[in-house]
Amino acid sequence: MYAYIIRRVLQMIPTILGVILLVFFLFNWVGGDPAYVLAGKISSAEQIANIRKQLGVDQPYYVQLWIFVKQVLTADFGASWSTNEAVSHILATRLGPSLTVLLPWLAISTLISIGLALAVAYVRGSLTDRAVMIVCTVGLSISILVYIIVFQYVFAYKLGWFPVQGWGDSLRENLFVYSSLPILILLVVSIAPDLRLFRTFVLDEINQDYVRTGRAKGLSENRIMWLHVLRNASIPIITQVMATLPGLLIGAFLVERFFSIPGIGREVILAVERSDFPVIKAITVYVAVATMVFNLLADLMYKAVDPRVQLK
Amino acid sequence: MRRGLLFAALLCAASSVALAADPGKVIRYVFPAAETGFDPAGGQDLYSGTIEQAIFDRLLTYDYLARPAKIVPGAAEALPQVSDDGRTYTFRIRKGIYFTPDPAFNGTRRELVAEDFVYSLKRLIDPKLRSPWAWLVEGKIVGLDELAAAAAKSGRFDYDRKIPGLEAVDRYTLRIRLKQTDYNLPFVLAHEPTSAVAREVIEKYADESGRAMSNPVGTGPYMLKDWVRASKIVLEANPGYRGFVWDFQPGSDPDDARIVKEMKGKKMPQVGRVEISIIEEDQARLLAFERGEIDIMNMEAPLAPNVLDGDKLKPEFVKRGVRLSRFVDPEITYHFWNMQDPVVGGLSKEKIALRRAMGMAFSLDDEIRIVRNGQAIEAQYPIPPGVVGHDPGYRTSIRYDPAAANALLDRFGYLKGADGFRTLPDGKPLVIKYTSRPDTLGRQQDELWAKAFALLGIRMEVVKLRFPDQIKAEKECKIMMRSAAWIADYPDGDNFMQLLYSKNIHQNNNACATIPEYDRLYERSARLPASSPERDRLYHEMTKIIEAYAPWRLDISRYRNMLTQPQVLGYKKHPILHAEWMYIDVKSGKGAGGGEGNAGGGD
């Protein structure tokens, strides 16, 4: 097991190098020269040269690339080019608001999707099953943008159940006042596709021989569904949930933007708009690392839920 | 611990000064884009500048009601004494202005003095700071450029070195000596980048680049209480602020009388707390305003159909007592052609004809109606309304006339081929490359220009560039044609007329134009006082030159529509001052949220 983990960690190194190269060349190819933005409305060639020098973008590409590698190794990405705020501080302060919305959403969404998937799979082919699937198909055909605009208008503006936007100082206020509507929207958007997917996983299991055997032995339907079927369906479900987790690091930018939540998603958009390479670099690298770490965790969890799985 | 107690004692002492601001009076404001930070020398966006206006003092400021904007003393006792040649300005700084208490002052009460302005102006040109506002002082103040050059060589800016151009004659007297006559200096000294900062504060909080973006400590009416970047900014009234009695004179605007009635004689500031939310999305901003979560908001053009009938508020808003403060922003948009480009540039007759024809085929009516939702006016003059030097009676000679434009092209040899497209007079293909940004506005402008070029039978190619690439290409004179905008840094015509001065090529003369007649007139105008009849005459001549040589097609100036809730008193949008909170009041108590009884009226 430990050998497997070490091997997987070592395999991350070439992946990270690939990410570094990709981000570096993409930014230098399409990102534009930040000096021209930072120089202001009226600037001379000397001032632009001075800014390029201070940012280090006048250095040869191999030097800039090496600086990038060192930043990854030390986890110190310097300061934002547009605000001079330390990138580490940006990430530390923006992660909290994003997680305040995304963690409850992910937990609730996963639980509801699994529960509903088991329920509709159990009554597969019935009117209820077909009705739920139709609703899911319609639901996932609608853009999140539409949900945001409609829900914000109806539930916040017209009915006044939630504030239109905002963010407070306490976790309690943020979680129960400002995050409620964004979480509701994310749930509506995510449950439909997850439910369809999880239902398929459950249906794959429900027709297996061990289910028939369990019933023949007189096990209750609840025990069959919640213990045996769910356990065997959990490997693809874990894969799906783990694949979602790195997304927590980049936030839900549309929701954050519409509801003025000071999260990472908004920061990513700002950084792109401002050609703020240090922020873009840091977030990209962290998301890449998180993706690999969560993939590894998913593999370890397979083993935990199904001892037959061999980690090689 | 002892220092903390001393700091608290100082704050209490400052609070004991008779303060008008009521902590219960709160203004909730909104920015549509994120700020960057609050160092006057470092921030360059409008929103950071707005906060700086509230926190810091400048030597000069603007009269709240006067239009066009009128300079009045700020931290200075009076307007400066100006020498006859317009090269030496002497300011007397008010005594008894204090910075808000900060640990950087080691427990002492820190008074604003002339040296603070010397330091603050020097900072603008410190190469390490890479201030976007260096141009405000560069090439103007005796000895300052030399100081910057020495710093560039040594890597250290010597703030202690005396220079003849910036002299603290005594504790409260500042003398500025200019290299040449410049009557625009008062406008520069009313601009927030020239705000006074304390050297101790900057040295305590500065980052590697020498900027203190997160620790604004000023002498202005407000101080930073809370800041969640790109989300929320909270200001509280500075308890030590000197204050003033509201006594502005009404202008010709009918709203002014109401404002005077609401505000006259009040000790300012009245508003004790300003809460600013950053809401990027139009819908969220408007809904928040309609729900009463925001008191004052700028209604951008895309929202206009939801709120306005023509230039008036819709009845449902009037019924709720919402007010509209509407004026034409001190800005112009214009379409320019690169005067160095081999296809469209140059001063020969056929090139001028080509540019004029393109300008005459572009429909400003379509742009105002479709792109701007009716929230703009046609720009007739290169200096927009509300800016000194604007001529409201001037009418441009360039009109939308596709037939005349086609005739002009025919006459100068741009003939149509068998494929229906025109060629250059030498028979080579004629293709106009129009550069725009990959956003909604860019796409709309592409379509309008495509329509214009279709009317002329000219092939058009759209070049999409992101903002940094666009600025770079523009400064290198590599863009054939683009639509641009310029908003006043200060409300004087010079800020606009310098845009075509040849010495500003590679800076902000984005048409890369060298028109000798224009240059001569500009240099003469730059030596004349603002609003002098002679300067106005020269500006007329320069405008005629722009129309004759057509490096630009003047486009539009946008309306700014500010919405206020009924409880907001005395609000009038100022074209340059964006932090109007120190000039306004809020109805306090129950029912402040307004209702039918407030429709369009006052108290």
Within 10 A of B170 (CB to CB), how many other CB atoms are there?
11
- pLDDT over 80 (residue A31): no
Is A260 in the B-facing interface, judged by CB distances under 8 Å?
A: yes
Nearest chain B Cα distance for residue A144, angstroms: 15
Banded pLDDT at B17 (limits 50, 70, 90): very low
Alpha-carbon gap, residue A258 to A248, rounded angstroms = 17
- pLDDT over 60 (residue B596): no
Alpha-carbon gap, residue B272 to B26, rounded angstroms = 6
* Residue B104, CB-side half-sphere exposure with 13 Å CA sphere: 19
DSSP B135-194: GGTTTTBTTHHHHHHHHHHHSS--TTS-BTTEEEEETTEEEEEBSS--TTHHHHTTSGGG
Are A36 and B207 inside 8 Å of each other by CB? no
Helix ranges (H only) for A207-276 are 209-216, 221-223, 230-244, 247-250, 253-258, 264-273
Alpha-carbon gap, residue A102 to A96, rounded angstroms = 10
Instruction: Specify whether the CB–CB gap between B505 and B339 falls below 8 A.
Output: no
- pLDDT over 90 (residue A134): yes
Nearest chain B Cα distance for residue A310, angstroms: 48
Q: State the pLDDT at residue B601.
A: 32
Question: Which residue is associated with the tokens 């980690």?
Answer: A311
How many A/B residue pairs have CB atoms within 8 Å? Answer: 138
Banded pLDDT at B5 (limits 50, 70, 90): very low
Pairing of β B556-564 and β B323-328: antiparallel
Report the run of H or E that residue B271 belongs to, with start and end. Answer: strand B271-278
Instruction: Specify whether the CB–CB gap between B387 and B491 falls below 8 A.
Output: yes
Alpha-carbon gap, residue B518 to B121, rounded angstroms = 31
The tokens of B57 are what?
A: 């003092």
Q: What is the mean pLDDT of chain A?
A: 87
Average pLDDT over residues B472-481: 92
Count of residues for chain A? 312
Average pLDDT over residues B117-137: 93
Q: How far is CA B492 from CA A21, A219, B193, B389, B575, in A?
A: 49, 87, 17, 7, 12
Within 10 A of A274 (CB to CB), how many other CB atoms are there?
22
Task: Look at B100 and A234; give whichever has higher pLDDT.
Answer: B100
Average pLDDT over residues A132-141: 91
Residue B515 φ then ψ, to 5°: -120, 100
Tell me the pLDDT tens digit for each residue of B151-186.
989 989 999 999 999 999 999 999 999 999 888 899
Are A54 and B466 inside 8 Å of each other by CB? no
Q: State the pLDDT at residue B591.
A: 42
Instruction: Specify whether the CB–CB gap between A176 and A182 falls below 8 A.
Output: no
Average pLDDT over residues A251-280: 87
The tokens of A23 are what?
A: 């981000």
- pLDDT over 60 (residue B14): no
Banded pLDDT at A120 (limits 50, 70, 90): very high
Question: In a 3-state reduction of DSSP, which class is residue A110?
Answer: helix
Q: State the pLDDT at residue B500.
A: 97
Banded pLDDT at A251 (limits 50, 70, 90): low
Q: Which residues of B touch A53 (CB under 8 A)?
A: none
Q: State the pLDDT at residue A172.
A: 93
Pairing of β B271-278 and β B22-31: parallel
Least confident of B9-18, B302-311, B568-577: B9-18
Q: State the pLDDT at residue B600.
A: 32
- pLDDT over 60 (residue B9): no
Q: State the pLDDT at residue B75.
A: 97
Tell me the pLDDT tens digit for each residue of B580-590.
999 999 997 64
Burial class (CB in 10 A: 0-12, 13-18, 19+), A103: middle
Tell me the pLDDT tens digit for each residue of A180-216.
999 999 999 999 999 999 999 989 888 889 988 998 9
Banded pLDDT at B471 (limits 50, 70, 90): confident
Nearest chain A Cα distance for residue B469, angstroms: 5
The tokens of B414 are what?
A: 């741009």
- pLDDT over 60 (residue B11): no
Are A30 and B231 inside 8 Å of each other by CB? no
Average pLDDT over residues B230-238: 94
Q: How far is CA B444 from CA B333, B450, B474, B557, in A?
A: 15, 10, 21, 17
Pairing of β B271-278 and β B552-554: unpaired
Which amino acid would we find at residue A19?
V
Residue B438 φ then ψ, to 5°: -80, 60
Instruction: Specify whether the CB–CB gap between A204 and A233 falls below 8 A.
Output: yes
A277 Cβ contact list (under 8 Å, min separation 6): A27, A31, A34, A81
Tell me the pLDDT tens digit for each residue of A215-229.
898 888 888 888 888
Q: How far is CA B400 from CA A297, B359, B603, in A?
A: 67, 8, 47
- pLDDT over 70 (residue B326): yes
Q: State the pLDDT at residue B16.
A: 42
- pLDDT over 90 (residue A28): no
Closest residue on chain B to A254 (Cα):
B281
Which amino acid would we find at residue B132?
P
A249 Cβ contact list (under 8 Å, min separation 6): A95, A98, A264, A283, A286, A287, A290
Average pLDDT over residues B109-128: 96
User: Residue B589's closest CA among B12, B2, B24?
Assistant: B24
Q: State the pLDDT at residue B154.
A: 92
Closest residue on chain A to B31 (Cα):
A260
Question: Which residues of A, range 115-154, sit inside 8 Å of B by Cβ?
Answer: 149, 152-153
Q: State the pLDDT at residue B6.
A: 46
Q: What is the mean pLDDT of chain B?
A: 91
Instruction: Specify whether the CB–CB gap between B252 and B235 falls below 8 A.
Output: no
- pLDDT over 80 (residue A107): yes
Are A84 and B133 inside 8 Å of each other by CB? no
- pLDDT over 80 (residue A153): yes
Within 10 A of B537 (CB to CB), how many other CB atoms are there?
13
Of B134, B228, B230, which is closest to A47 when you measure between CB atoms?
B134
Task: Look at A47 and B321; give whichever has higher pLDDT.
Answer: B321
Q: Which residues of A touch B214 (CB under 8 A)?
A: 85
Is A56 in the B-facing interface, judged by CB distances under 8 Å?
A: no
DSSP B79-119: SPEE-TTS-EEEEEBPTT-BPPP-GGGTTS--B--HHHHHH
Of A43, A50, A267, which is closest to B507 when you measure between CB atoms?
A43
- pLDDT over 80 (residue B15): no
Quote the percentage of chain B above a pLDDT of 90: 81
Tell me the pLDDT tens digit for each residue of B490-525.
899 999 999 999 999 988 899 999 999 999 999 999
DSSP A5-43: HHHHHHHHHHHHHHHHHHHHHHHHHHS--HHHHHT-SS-
Whether cis (ω within 30° of 0) applies to the bond prior to B269 is yes
Q: State the pLDDT at residue A152.
A: 95
Quote the percentage of chain B above a pLDDT of 70: 94
Quote the percentage of chain A above a pLDDT of 70: 98
Within 10 A of A157 (CB to CB), how many other CB atoms are there?
19
Burial class (CB in 10 A: 0-12, 13-18, 19+), B310: exposed
Alpha-carbon gap, residue A98 to A100, rounded angstroms = 5
B570-585 burial, b at 16+ Cβ within 10 Å, e below that, comes to bbbbbbbbbbbbbbbb
- pLDDT over 60 (residue B10): no
Are A164 and B475 inside 8 Å of each other by CB? no
Alpha-carbon gap, residue B122 to B210, rounded angstroms = 12
Task: Look at B531 and B35; give whichever has higher pLDDT.
Answer: B35
Report the run of H or E that residue B459 belongs to, with start and end. Answer: strand B459-464
Pairing of β B431-436 and β B459-464: parallel
Task: Look at B97 and A78; give whichever has higher pLDDT.
Answer: B97
Total-model pTM: 0.85
